[in-house]
Amino acid sequence: MTQTQQVLPSVSRLFEPASLGGLELPNRLVMAPLTRNRAGADGVPGELMAVHYAQRATAGLIIAEGTTPSAVGQAYPNIPGIHTPEQIAGWRRVTDAVRAGAGGRGGGAAMFLQLEHGGRVGHPDTSGHVPLAPSAVRLPERLQTPGGLRDAPVPRAMTAGDVRSAVADFATAARNAVEAGFAGVEVHAANGFLPHQFLARGTNLRTDEWGGPVENRIRFTVEVVRTVAGAIGRERVGVRVSPGVGVNGIEEGDTEAIYPALLAALAEIDPVYLHVLYAHGQRRGIAEHREAWRGTLIANQQLSREEFAADGGKAVAERLLAEGADLVSLGRGFLANPDFVERLRADAPLNEIRSEFLMHVQGPEGYNDYPALPPAPATGAAPASAGPRGDRRPAAA
């Protein structure tokens, strides 16, 4: 090496710009949809949520938390909706705040809204309705309600009319989301919610056109995505799936048959992205999905405590990009760090997550009061600790 040569530090691909349909993203980091139960009892997003998302507006893309497209689809207390004028207005305040930036740190991230119909994941004490599902198969878990934990009820099996109404509700919710200022919506077909319940043999015992063989069980999800794309344009629609992930008591039964068929059918609609949740340690699916999916692939992998404690998931995110993902969504790091992108870029300390405030509580504590790093000194020295909650060993959520 000559005296004039320099060794330059490598630049992570996480911080490279990317395109998503007609959107230009400043980096490849996506804030994953995160249920925090901070909406009002009427499902209206308030100032707490506007502040929260604006704080995190340096993400390349924000996928806002699971939001119910209809009253009967509400899964949990104090989650937002997108089916009343008041809810639309509340979300408009949130998207306006995000466009304004992140407290002087820049940002103004693009936002998609995740549409989440609970299906059997719901309770009359929460929604005022008996939950609807593909079949009358009860969730084998207790559910949080306004009155505390309750046994899940047996859902009512959907009639053909109920199925068509649910599809229409997704489309109406998508139009409402665009009216509220979102760039698009994500159809939540993962984590044991209604579309996933149609996909899985354990929850879909139907014998009509939406049940039985794989080509019938994927029909509901495909119909939802096609109808939503028809309502707002395919470039505004993403889809989330979680192959083989048994959240909310889901039992797919034939995972290896479901997803090739589903992806092939979705590819004909050509939504703007596919968002895949991978179980911790699951590797081979990424290459398969990259080969099968010509559009944007967003990867989200469950992290071990050790992976999260080491660097907030940065190394895992970089590996996912190397294996074929276009964008990577992370959740826990964004929970506790309003400046998560900046911290990853600088390899700075991360705040500890205060898990007692994650869900089913109200107020700003453990939500909007996590500190940002102070500005870096002019000398270029490494940033100081974030204060009493700053730590390089953040707790797992």
Reported as a single tens digit per residue, the pLDDT across 225-246 is 999 999 999 999 999 999 999 9
The span from the CA of 138 to the CA of 21, in Å, is: 39
The span from the CA of 164 to the CA of 167, in Å, is: 5
Ramachandran category for residue 199: left, alpha or beta (phi over 0 → left; psi -120 to 50 → alpha): alpha
Q: Please, what is the angle between helix 160-179 and helix 219-232, to 10°? A: 30
In the predicted model, is pLDDT for residue 92 greater than 90?
A: yes
CA nearest neighbour of 65 among 28, 92, 38? 38
- pLDDT tier for residue 142 given thresholds of 50, 70 and 90: very high
Whole-number Cα distances in Å, 104 to 16, 339, 344: 21, 11, 18
Please provide residue 272's backbone torsions phi and psi, each rounded to the nearest 5 degrees.
Answer: -70, -25
The span from the CA of 282 to the CA of 38, in Å, is: 32
In the predicted model, is pLDDT for residue 297 greater than 90?
A: yes
Tokens of 210: 């939406």
Mean local confidence (pLDDT), 86-106:
88
Mean local confidence (pLDDT), 304-317:
91
Tokens of 105: 């740190």
Residue-wise pLDDT for 155-209, tens only, equals 999 999 999 999 999 999 999 999 999 999 999 999 999 999 999 999 999 999 9
Whole-number Cα distances in Å, 142 to 122, 139, 153, 332, 363: 10, 8, 9, 24, 24
The span from the CA of 181 to the CA of 81, in Å, is: 15
pLDDT, residue 283, reads 66
Residue-wise pLDDT for 326-362, tens only, equals 999 999 999 999 999 999 999 999 999 999 998 888 9
Residue-wise pLDDT for 122-135, tens only, equals 999 999 999 999 99
- pLDDT tier for residue 305 given thresholds of 50, 70 and 90: confident
Fold type of domain 13-391:
TIM Barrel (3.20.20)
Please provide residue 314's backbone torsions phi and psi, each rounded to the nearest 5 degrees.
Answer: -60, -45
The span from the CA of 113 to the CA of 185, in Å, is: 5
- pLDDT tier for residue 8 given thresholds of 50, 70 and 90: very low
The span from the CA of 20 to the CA of 160, in Å, is: 35
Domain boundaries defined on the chain: 13-391
Mean local confidence (pLDDT), 40-61:
97
pLDDT, residue 394, reads 32
pLDDT, residue 385, reads 41
Mean local confidence (pLDDT), 142-157:
97
At which residue do the structure tokens 């405030």 appear?
357
pLDDT, residue 6, reads 44
The span from the CA of 370 to the CA of 366, in Å, is: 7
- pLDDT tier for residue 388 given thresholds of 50, 70 and 90: very low
pLDDT, residue 106, reads 62
Residue-wise pLDDT for 215-227, tens only, equals 999 999 999 999 9
Chain mean pLDDT for the chain: 91
- pLDDT tier for residue 79 given thresholds of 50, 70 and 90: very high
Q: What is the pTM of this model?
A: 0.92
In the predicted model, is pLDDT for residue 33 greater than 60?
A: yes
One-letter amino acid at 321 equals L
pLDDT, residue 102, reads 65
- Strands (E) across the chain are located at 18-20, 23-25, 29-31, 61-67, 110-115, 132-133, 142-145, 148-151, 156-157, 184-188, 237-241, 273-278, 296-301, 327-330, 350-351, 390-391
pLDDT, residue 378, reads 60
Mean local confidence (pLDDT), 43-64:
97
Helices (H), 323-389: 332-336, 340-346
Mean local confidence (pLDDT), 101-119:
85
CA nearest neighbour of 38 among 56, 58, 52? 52
Mean local confidence (pLDDT), 278-296:
86
Reduced 3-state DSSP string for 164-186: HHHHHHHHHHHHHHHHCCCCEEE
pLDDT, residue 384, reads 45
In the predicted model, is pLDDT for residue 140 greater than 60?
A: yes
- pLDDT tier for residue 308 given thresholds of 50, 70 and 90: confident
